[in-house]
Amino acid sequence: MSKTTIREIEFAPGRTITLETGRLAKQANGSVVARLGDTMVLCTAVIAKDVREGQGFFPLTVDYREKYSAGGKIPGGFIKREGRPTDKEVLSSRLVDRALRPLFAEGFYHEVQVIIYVISADPENDADVLAGIGASAALMLAGAPFDGPIAEVRVGRVNGEYIVNPTIQQLEESDIDLIVAGKEDALVMVEGEMEEISEEEMVEALDVAHEAIKVLCRGQRDFVAEHGPVEPFAYEPIVTPPALVERVRELLGPRMAEHLRAPYDKASFYDGIDAIKEEVLTALLGQDDPEAGTTRADATPEGWTAGQIKDAVSQVEKEVMREMILSEHRRLDGRRLDEIRDIWAEVGYLPRVHGSAIFTRGETQVLASVTLGTKKDVQAVDQIFDTTDRRFYLHYSFPPFCTGEVKFLRGASRREIGHGFLAERALAPMLPSEEAFPYTIRINADVLESNGSSSMASVCSGSLALMDAGVPIKKAVAGIAMGLISDGQRTAVLSDILGTEDHLGDMDFKVTGTRDGITACQMDIKIAGLSREILLQALEQARAGRHHILDIMDSVLDRPRPNLSPYAPRLTQIT
């Protein structure tokens, strides 16, 4: 029988989280039961022994599942068992995944699966942040090569007082619902909604969260040390050979820099990168020429393959782009660091829907439509922590044609669910009460073109579509995606980032709000040591950008239409 270790961690006065290992799921590489109140989650981590042949990325899977039995319930429907993941389960899985993924070692390509089961649920303590703590501890026990531990906490504010991991009752009274993940020395992920708070209040909430995170991370280290020595998982990192990267630099010379400074549009930019990769492949591996009787080699004499050569070109592209931004403050499309792309918008484009708007920013375009329904159209909710039916929901769609790709059309992806929920949270605080406007409201946000910030364009188009539908929202809401490039000495904060700047940068920080404050945010940070000053700078720059966007939106439609569409249902209230 293995050793059982139990440790209590006090994260706030009188409130503790308990970690336990050695009793359940012992055949997993790491297994932890985390408990807050009577809510318990079983978190397991398993690492594949071998890397799949041809694996070119880190395959991490996080699955969070809420067992109905945990809350003393039986699933509804005919089958009477848990089925496909609910939106809540998908969103909770993403919260853990986004916190863990950037911390794994570069070149580690073994498949890692983290499974989280909610096995006991009390009505006052949600399990989503508890899952992140348990998953981190399970990975530590598994010896996984990740720069942990991490901890996740939720921050609320009731009557001006910040609360770490508020109860569900306290959260109903709170004007902030912010989930923050981080390590002892840095924040990693942020997501939440708030009622028009200021940038300084946002940073204060993050400071409160980080203090609790430090305590929980130290508690995990003590918990793992108490359980006994952990053998690090042995692996061979798969990295691009430095000699190959240097050889590619020599071959390209100024070619990459010239391309990054050329007039920009998405198609020509990526076509140019593909052409550069083909030139380098030809230089190092030769080319297929049936007339000359030559074929492209599988590898160079040094053993460098085509895949490695393409990775080396991408690495040089990243280096050159980042240096151009840091040294010249010049971006791929020639904009200043704080400059927003050209915007145009139109409302009432769709004649038969109840409200519609097109919002186009650069090469990102979203068509939003609003449908008004009755109480029969609410989204029924049957979960262990929440049973409140939803009278407002936003569905975000990202079809393959919006990026010029060919793919199968399937159900909503995790990304689509996550982006839609962020846009929904951004708009929800501005909706009228059910008493004042007793309609069910559905927004369809269809991305028609994408080159960065499509979720923020969904917020802008959704806000305009609500006004076009005659929904008496309190204020217009806009969103902007911020980026960051840093080499440790120099830092550049970017407004309204392109897709490439998101991919090759160090931060993706989406901020939504009105002229009076922030309503929602989502942040993923890839580097350690993001200072309070830089974070505040990013928030202030986001506010300036948000106000610029709101000015343009107001020029299109600055208030809700006085009447509903003739095609919308009419509800009469008798008082």
The string of pLDDT tens digits covering residues 197-209 is 999 999 999 999 9
| E strand segments, 226-363 | 343-347, 355-361
Cα gap 25→33, rounded to integer Å: 10
> What average pLDDT does this structure show over 292-321?
90
Q: What is the pLDDT of residue 78?
A: 85
Cα gap 93→95, rounded to integer Å: 5
Contact 496, 341 (CB under 8 A): yes
Q: What is the DSSP letter of 351?
A: S
User: What is the DSSP secondary-structure string of 18-86?
Assistant: EEEESSS-TTSSEEEEEEETTEEEEEEEEE-SSPPTT--S--EEEEEEE-GGGGT----TTT-S--SPP
Q: What is the DSSP letter of 252?
A: H
Contact 267, 403 (CB under 8 A): no
Contact 188, 204 (CB under 8 A): no
What Å distances lie between residue 468 and 173, 283, 558, 563, CA to CA?
A: 31, 57, 10, 9
> Residue length, the chain?
575
Tell me the pLDDT of the chain averaged across its residues.
94
Give yes or no for residue 30 having a pLDDT over 80. Answer: yes
pLDDT in tens, 339-384: 999 999 999 999 999 999 999 999 999 999 999 999 999 988 888 9
Share of the chain above pLDDT 70, in %: 99
Give yes or no for residue 323 having a pLDDT over 60. Answer: yes
pLDDT in tens, 173-195: 999 999 999 999 999 999 999 99
Q: What is the pLDDT of residue 56?
A: 84
Phi, psi for residue 176 in degrees, rounded to 5:
-135, 135
* β-pair type (112-120, 60-66): parallel
Look up residue 27 and give its two tokens: 């055949």
Give yes or no for residue 488 having a pLDDT over 70. Answer: yes
Give yes or no for residue 574 having a pLDDT over 80. Answer: no
Cα gap 133→177, rounded to integer Å: 18
Number of CB atoms found within 10 A of residue 388's CB: 10
Q: Which residues pair with 442 in a beta bridge?
A: 371, 393
Round to the nearest angstrom and report the end-to-end CA distance of the chain.
68
What Å distances lie between residue 221 and 82, 137, 214, 224, CA to CA?
A: 35, 8, 11, 5
Cα gap 320→322, rounded to integer Å: 6
Contact 190, 178 (CB under 8 A): yes
Task: Provide the CA 382 distance to its chain's centre, in angstroms.
Answer: 25
Cα gap 157→201, rounded to integer Å: 10
Share of the chain above pLDDT 90, in %: 87
Q: What is the pLDDT of residue 378?
A: 92
Contact 86, 121 (CB under 8 A): no
Residue 13: strand, helix, or coil = coil
Contact 4, 110 (CB under 8 A): no
Q: What is the pLDDT of residue 23?
A: 96
Give yes or no for residue 527 having a pLDDT over 70. Answer: yes
User: What is the DSSP secondary-structure string of 549-564?
Assistant: HHHHHHHH--S--SS-
Task: Provide the CA 11 distance to its chain's centre, in angstroms.
Answer: 26
- Domains in the chain (CATH in brackets) are 5-227 (3.30.230.70), 242-328 (1.10.10), 343-556 (3.30.230.70)
Task: Report the predicted TM-score, pTM, of the whole model to 2 decimal places.
Answer: 0.94
Q: What is the DSSP letter of 338?
A: T
Q: How confident is the model at residue 1 (pLDDT cuts 50, 70, 90)?
A: low
Contact 338, 541 (CB under 8 A): yes
Cα gap 556→342, rounded to integer Å: 15
What Å distances lie between residue 21 and 80, 149, 219, 242, 245, CA to CA?
A: 31, 16, 14, 41, 44
Cα gap 398→415, rounded to integer Å: 9
Give yes or no for residue 142 having a pLDDT over 80. Answer: yes
In 394-471, which ranges are continuous DSSP H helix? Answer: 414-427, 454-468
SS3 string, 476-528, reads: CCEEEEEEEEECCCCEEEEECCCHHHHHHCCEEEEEEEECCEEEEEEEEECCC
Q: What is the DSSP letter of 198?
A: -
Look up residue 4 and give its two tokens: 């059982």
Q: What is the pLDDT of residue 529?
A: 66
pLDDT in tens, 243-280: 999 999 999 989 999 999 999 999 999 999 999 999 99
Number of CB atoms found within 10 A of residue 564's CB: 18
Cβ burial, residue 344 (10 Å; 0-12/13-18/19+): exposed
Q: What is the pLDDT of residue 548?
A: 98
Q: What is the pLDDT of residue 386?
A: 87
Q: Which residues contact 504 (CB under 8 A, 6 or more apart)?
A: 317, 318, 321, 322
Contact 280, 311 (CB under 8 A): no
In 297-345, which ranges are continuous DSSP H helix? Answer: 306-328
Q: How confident is the model at residue 575 (pLDDT cuts 50, 70, 90)?
A: low
Q: What is the pLDDT of residue 161?
A: 96
Contact 89, 65 (CB under 8 A): yes
Exposure string of 414-426, with b = 16+ CB inside 10 Å and e = fewer, is eebbbbbbbbbbb
Q: What is the pLDDT of residue 170?
A: 95
